[in-house]
C-alpha cells in the first residue's frame, strides 16, 4: 500500500467521510453478442484471457434496473442512497456507414441509436434519465466513443485482417494480446500515435461534450480519458467545453506526446492547472469480477480506512464490466452481491460516510468550507 500512502499524503483535505464511486465505460460497445464470441474464438482469439471480452457489452435494461435496486437499499449519513458517477461515452462507430464509404470515412452514432440495434435495451435511455433524476447514477464524460478513431481507421484502410473480422461482428475492443491478427489496441481514445492526431482529438472533445449535453440535459464538468492517456495540450479544449475536473489514475502520470514520446507529470488530489481545472486521483479499486476468488471487499476496505486516516475523500474506481449481464447474467449477479457487501461495510464501519458524485466533490473543493 506504499503507492496509496503517497497518494493520500498529498492534496486537498477534508474531515468529512466522503465516498465517490466512479464507474467507467457506460454507453460504449465492447463485445456485441455471444455469437460474436464464438465466431472470434473460431478465428483463433483467446477471449478467455480478458474479462472485458467475455462479459462487457452495452448495458441492457436489467443491468441498470438491478444496479438501482442495490443502490436504493442503502442510505448514508444524509439519508441519501449511494450514487455512481457513470463515466460515459456518448457515441459508437456507425459500422454500416463506414463500410458503405469503403472505409474511407469515419462515422459515429449517438449511443441511443446503438441501443436500438440490441435486443434487451429498449428501456436503457429512460433508465439513464431515471438514474439522473433519482441521483443513483449520474453521468460524466469519458470521451465521445471508447475508441482511438484515427488508429482504428488506419488499420481498416490498410486491410488488417483481424480488425476487419471483428468489424463485421460489430466489435472494436480487442487487442493483439487476445487476438494476434489485430495490429494494435484501440480502446485508448486519446493515445497520441501521431502528433497530427491531436487535431481530430480536439474535435472529438468538442462534438462529444456537445452530444453529452444533448443526451443528458446538462453540461459535463468532469472528464476521465478512456484507458488513461491524454495530452495536456488538449486541456484548453476541455476548459472551453466546460470541463473543470480531470481524472488521473496515478500521481506520476505518463503523458503521451506522439511519435512514441512521453512526458512524466506530477499530479495529486485537487491540484490545479494553470487554467484552474482540478485533477482528481482515484485511491481505491473495486473490480469484483476480476481475479475470481480474490476478495475485493478485503482489498478495498483498508484503503478506504487509510484515505480517511489522512483526511482524504475516497474515490473508488470500478468498471461497467462488473455489472453487465447481457452476455452472462451470473457475472452481474455476483458483482452486485459484492457491491452490496461493500456498501454495507462502509456504512456500518463509518456511519457518518457521505456518498457524493464527482461533480459534488468538485463543488465542495471549490468552497472554503471542508
Q: What is the pLDDT of residues 304-327, one digit of tens each?
A: 999 999 999 999 999 999 999 999
214 pLDDT band, cuts 50/70/90, is: very high
- Mean pLDDT on 227-239: 95
271 pLDDT band, cuts 50/70/90, is: very high
Please give the full DSSP string across 106-149, using - where no structure is assigned.
--EEEHHHHHTTSTT-TTHHHHHHHHHHTTSEEEEEEESSSS-H
DSSP lists the bridge partners of residue 140 as: 87
Q: Which domain holds residue 258?
A: 2-365
Flag whether pLDDT at 3 surpasses 70: no
> Is 370 part of any domain?
no
> Is 360 part of any domain?
yes
> Is 246 part of any domain?
yes
Non-local CB neighbours of 185 within 8 Å, separated by 6+ positions: 175, 176, 177
> Is 183 part of any domain?
yes
Question: What is the per-residue pLDDT across 92-106, written as a single tens digit (0 to 9) for each?
Answer: 999 999 999 999 999
> Is 116 part of any domain?
yes
Flag whether pLDDT at 189 surpasses 80: yes
Mean pLDDT estimate for the chain: 95
pTM over 0.85: yes
Q: Which residue has the cell 483498508?
A: 302
CATH number of the domain that 126 lies in?
3.20.20.370
Non-local CB neighbours of 60 within 8 Å, separated by 6+ positions: 118, 120, 121, 124, 324, 325, 326
Q: Which of 268, 275, 234 is nearest to 253 (CA)?
A: 268
> Is 26 part of any domain?
yes
Q: How many domains is the chain built from?
A: 1
Instruction: Quote the pLDDT of residue 370.
Output: 60
Q: Which H or E run includes 208?
A: helix 197-216
Amino acid at each position: 500500500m506504499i503507492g496509496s500512502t503517497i497518494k493520500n499524503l498529498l492534496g486537498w483535505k477534508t474531515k468529512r467521510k466522503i465516498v465517490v464511486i466512479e464507474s467507467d465505460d457506460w454507453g460504449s460497445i465492447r463485445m456485441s453478442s455471444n455469437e460474436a464470441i464464438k465466431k472470434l474464438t473460431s478465428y483463433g482469439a483467446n477471449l478467455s484471457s480478458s474479462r472485458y471480452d467475455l462479459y462487457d457489452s452495452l448495458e441492457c435494461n436489467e443491468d441498470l434496473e438491478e444496479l438501482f435496486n442495490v443502490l436504493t437499499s442503502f442510505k448514508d449519513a444524509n439519508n441519501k442512497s449511494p450514487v455512481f458517477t457513470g463515466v460515459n461515452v456518448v457515441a459508437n462507430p456507425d459500422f454500416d456507414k463506414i463500410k458503405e464509404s469503403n472505409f474511407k470515412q469515419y462515422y459515429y452514432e449517438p449511443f441511443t441509436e446503438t441501443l436500438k440495434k440490441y435486443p434487451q435495451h429498449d428501456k436503457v435511455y429512460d433508465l439513464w434519465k431515471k438514474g439522473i433524476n433519482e441521483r443513483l447514477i449520474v453521468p460524466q464524460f469519458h470521451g465521445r466513443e471508447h475508441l482511438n478513431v484515427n488508429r482504428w481507421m488506419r488499420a481498416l484502410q490498410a486491410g488488417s485482417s483481424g480488425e476487419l473480422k471483428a468489424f463485421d461482428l460489430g466489435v472494436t475492443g480487442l487487442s493483439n494480446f487476445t487476438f494476434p491478427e489485430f495490429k494494435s489496441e484501440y480502446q485508448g481514445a486519446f493515445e497520441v500515435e501521431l502528433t497530427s492526431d491531436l487535431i481530430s482529438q480536439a474535435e472529438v472533445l468538442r462534438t462529444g461534450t456537445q452530444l453529452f449535453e444533448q443526451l443528458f440535459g446538462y453540461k459535463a464538468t468532469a472528464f476521465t480519458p478512456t484507458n488513461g492517456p491524454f495530452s495536456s495540450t488538449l486541456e484548453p479544449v476541455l476548459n472551453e467545453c466546460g470541463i473543470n475536473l480531470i481524472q488521473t489514475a496515478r500521481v506520476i502520470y505518463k503523458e503521451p506526446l506522439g511519435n512514441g514520446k512521453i512526458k512524466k507529470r506530477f499530479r495529486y488530489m485537487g491540484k490545479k492547472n494553470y487554467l484552474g481545472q482540478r485533477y482528481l486521483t482515484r485511491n481505491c479499486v473495486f473490480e469484483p469480477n476480476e481475479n475470481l476468488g480474490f476478495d475485493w471487499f478485503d482489498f478495498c476496505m483498508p484503503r478506504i480506512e487509510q484515505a480517511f486516516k489522512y483526511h482524504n475523500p475516497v474515490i473508488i474506481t470500478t468498471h461497467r464490466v462488473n455489472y453487465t449481464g447481457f452476455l452472462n447474467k451470473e457475472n452481474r449477479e455476483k458483482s452486485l452481491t459484492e457491491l452490496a457487501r461493500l456498501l454495507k461495510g462502509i456504512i456500518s464501519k463509518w456511519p457518518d460516510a457521505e456518498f457524493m458524485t464527482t461533480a459534488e466533490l468538485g463543488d465542495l473543493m471549490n468552497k472554503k468550507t471542508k
